Structure 1
């Protein structure tokens, strides 16, 4: 069984394996560009809504709730680490959002955010997805680091459940990058390479997250909450607005609810 196999490795290596898996699923989703040149707007909205639902559920069930439980064991005011970490995660993504040049899927190039550059539209689109893959990789890494602390509220099974949930929502994300690039005139192979490249930051962020919480155990509640805040920032700032571009928004709402339920089931059943 995969859990028993993972137990034989250092938590940082576990986090690396898990985030390589989530990156691999991103690449798998990006490979759909070899079969499709266009993606229906309703399908895209459903994909984005689904990703938002998974990230919202993961933020609470896999990150905030364990952070609060840990803080209750060590702090007289258990809400402080959760609140400080959560807001810090949002502030970090806000700062990166202001600095890193990027462009959201449905926007013209003149609406690119971050520092102004002359970079091509394709690069800016990939960077937009890369931006919100940072908290996903960080969340998985922190979860594996927390599991190594042998606390009741954090387990290896729960960390694996989180990685599976993030992986599931990375599949439509990969397609949501590569297929629009193909529609803009890029070759299938180049569109695929750009699409999978958007997930390369996840193993990097995962290893950093795991190392940080192992090296500094007292920051665990803050680190878990930080990852949750960063993910919620991405959901509200990018995924939900992107999924509501069409006049018929019910499909994205349903996608979000389905994503939330699937992640909740994964965490409760496995974690």
Structure 2
């Protein structure tokens, strides 16, 4: 598979990878054709699994290569990591503050961002879309980084990141389509809205790849930026959403550790 991917340009690689991750978002959303409801413990565990994948990907696929790359290019590694990582978190905080959205299981009066008259379904989709911005960006930056021809960025590592992001996108697609279906939305509309939350990933992925190809001097910052943005999403949204039911906390915690372990194995094995 890696040999096949290497035939294409970094931008095309990023596009193919993020189309794959979008496809798994759609696969998760397609569950709505078979059921209205998934066991809450299972859904919480899947969100916990997604959090574990993103934490591991943030370090092994983004932060650690960014620090190593900063050292190789003569930058101050700890300063580059700090600036990039915190910038990613600040960017996501501003996006979270401005973009209207509604987290799973909350009432309309608990929506965040600029107040609008948009429907609940639209706000739910935007909440998951917010997750997917840093995910697509991370994949794009990872593939773009390979073109820098530095030992810290490998095609195997970029592929591992895309696989991990794809795995955790499955529950995110379901997390949009199933609540919409339970509220009376048709199966097809629930599916279309669920999968649409992943549309932003190919856009962000191509942008990330193009950006680092033309601005290689900021590549270490871009990797750390993507890591900071992903950690913000995990701490702000995925972990709290997965642990709302106290009885499920132990199961969700183990699912989070399983997600972390699988992403770690993928990255270490392929990278």
Alignment of 1:83-232 (within 5 A): 83-232=82-231
- Residue 269 (str. 1) matches residue 269 (str. 2): yes
Q: How many angstroms apart in 2 are the aligned matches of 1:78 and 1:133? A: 27
Shift of 1:101: 0.2
1:194 match: secondary structure: helix
Point out where structure 2 has 5 or more consecutive residues left out of the alignment.
Answer: none
Residues 124 and 76 from structure 1, CA distance in 2 versus in 1: closer, same or farther, beyond 3 angstroms? closer
TM-score (norm 1): 0.98
Q: Report how many aligned residue pairs link the two structures.
A: 270
TM-score (norm 2): 0.98
Q: CA RMSD in A?
A: 0.7
Structure 1 partner of 2:19:
20
Shift of 1:6: 1.5
Structure 2 partner of 1:10:
9
Q: How many angstroms apart in 2 are the aligned matches of 1:49 and 1:183? A: 22
Q: How many angstroms apart in 1 are the aligned matches of 2:198 and 2:95? A: 17
Q: Which runs of 4+ in 1 moved over 3 A?
A: none
Shift of 1:44: 1.2
Residues 147 and 194 from structure 1, CA distance in 2 versus in 1: closer, same or farther, beyond 3 angstroms? same
Shift of 1:76: 5.1
Point out where structure 1 has 5 or more consecutive residues left out of the alignment.
Answer: none
1:9 match: secondary structure: coil
1:151 match: secondary structure: coil
